[in-house]
Chains A and B, each alone.
Chain A
Amino acid sequence: MPVPEVRTPVHVEGEVVATKRVGAHRHLTLTAPGVPERFRAGNFVAVSVPGHVARRALWIHRVRASSAFGPTLDVVLEARGAGTSWLAAQPVGARVPITGPLGRAFALPKDAVSCLLVGEGYAAAPLFPLAERLRERGCAVSLVVSAPDESRLLSALEARRAVRSVTVLTADGSVGQRGRVADHVDELLRRADADVVYATGPAEVLRASAAAAERAGAWSQVGLEVSALCGTGLCHGCPLPVVGEDGVDRVVRACTEGPVVRGDRVRWDAL
């Protein structure tokens, strides 16, 4: 698969134009001139929070080329610490410094192959625009959305148009099938007859998906969330242990050489 070109990011002042609570998540729609235009599925943005030096990395969930506010992008927040809580509380009209789009995007297959997309919680966000790109290429897309419980499940309704099938997994069985990705991914892969697996979410979900792909002889790409301070490649603070193309162990920056990498390249035990 070709390595996607890296597009030049911009640093701009964005504005919240819509905010909506969905279960335990907060969906924000923002303007960020130049960012939606450059976006590729798998990119993220880094957002500044007043009084905090570190940036907050957020997957881009969708972009609209035009709206009443011009081009916009959506992010899905799960408020946990100080920064995500601050962001989730921002009203319409609030201004937020945004850098993006950042990171390597998902590589797309050249041929119309069968793809399994696996995403857990808010981190399923980048799989939706990915599904659309794959669909445009004639790929058969099977989407798996998982979560600990229903409140943290990203609704697959919007994706239905782009995908052949949707599977819902919750750990507590509150909706869909009960269980974790690791329990079901081999079977899902077989059913989808997938040539490529794309996975986003916590490391254990990615590792299970990459391992299942390897067992089935499929390719995998995983979107990793390594704790990121700047998100822009400047600080070298986001070490991602990988095996290089040449078979040599390396530590690369997750925010520039990732966050999307081939699943079989990650040294999971060193993560």
Chain B
Amino acid sequence: MSAYVPGPVMVAAGCGGTGRELEPFAGPDGLAGLDFVTRSLTLDPRAGGAGPRLVEVPGGLVNAVGLPNPGLEHFLATELPWLVRAGARVLVSIAGATMGEYADLARRLSRAPGVAGLEVNLGAPDEVGAGLFEVREPYHAASVIAAVRREFPSDRPVLAKLRPDVSRVVEGARSCHEAGATAVVIGNAVPAAFPDGRAGGLSGPAVGPVALRCVAEVHRALPAVPVIACGGVRDLTSARTYLAVGASAVQVGTALLHDPTTVARLRADLAAHHQEDA
């Protein structure tokens, strides 16, 4: 059995809180049936960076949140069971400092009840600064995917989340797919800086056209690889722009921070739109 490709609307990593905070705004069914990507989890707890972690800029925001998370054990004991009870399809985003950590995370998550799939964070805007495994080379990214795939059942999806860097993204998508990724997620926050020069990642409407270019090129070059688009999705128009160039699903990140009902609205709008088409 091959793994399903999530969608058409997903919650992007790090922008849905623990799920509980999103539930009041997620529509009549709450999180039930929603593809929810968790914030990236690491083996050990991480406090995250010192403030300010986010700053508003024209067209979006710059973040250096620093992957705050309670570590795998605490997540498995508290957040995961809650998400599963709420009916969410839980895709756990994982991040590691070494290849071994990625494999470890995948193995332990494969045994946790209710994990629908994994998203491997291979596109952090500043992985070295964040203390993550360096995956700038597509070869390294693919090795991580292969290591994760070995530990995670093949009937559940493993998504490779890549940086929207047009010079490398086709090669990255190809290698990750060959290494066993069910689909690729393009992209992530784009390397940028805070007003004081500190490293961060740009997200929101401003990065939409950047990710769109990458999604279009990957789909053109690799039509058989399912592509999930992520960057600046905020309404029916921005979502349909990605679907029109070949994306099979979209993720919503920054828009949820501005309006927590964005995912509920987009799900309803897309469903209505499909009905009109039919």
Contacts and interface: CB of A to CB of B under 8 A. Distances in A.
Contacts, number: 94
A250 B39 CA distance: 18
Interface string A199-226: 0000000000000000000000000001
A218 to B, nearest CB: 29
A53 B24 contact: no
Interface string A20-64: 000000000000000000000000000010001111000000000
Contact of A53 (B50, B61, B260, B261): B61
Interface in B55-91: 56, 60-61, 63, 65, 68
Given A234-B21, A239-B53, 7 more contacts: A9-B24, A11-B25, A52-B56, A54-B61, A229-B61, A237-B65, A239-B48
A124 interface: no
A47 to B, nearest CB: 11
B256 interface: yes
Interface size class of B (residues with CB under 8 A): 20 to 34
Interface of A: 8-11, 48, 52-55, 97, 99, 226-227, 229-230, 232-239, 250-251, 256
Interface SS majority for chain B: loop
Nearest to B25: A11
Contact of A234 (B48, B68, B257): B257
Q: List the 3 shortest-distance A-B pairs measured between CB atoms, nearest first.
A: A233-B21, A230-B257, A237-B54
B254 A11 contact: no
B15 A235 contact: yes
Given A53-B204, A53-B254, A232 B65 contact: no
Contacts of A53: 56, 60-61, 204-205, 254, 257-258
Nearest to B39: A236
Contacts of A9: 24-25
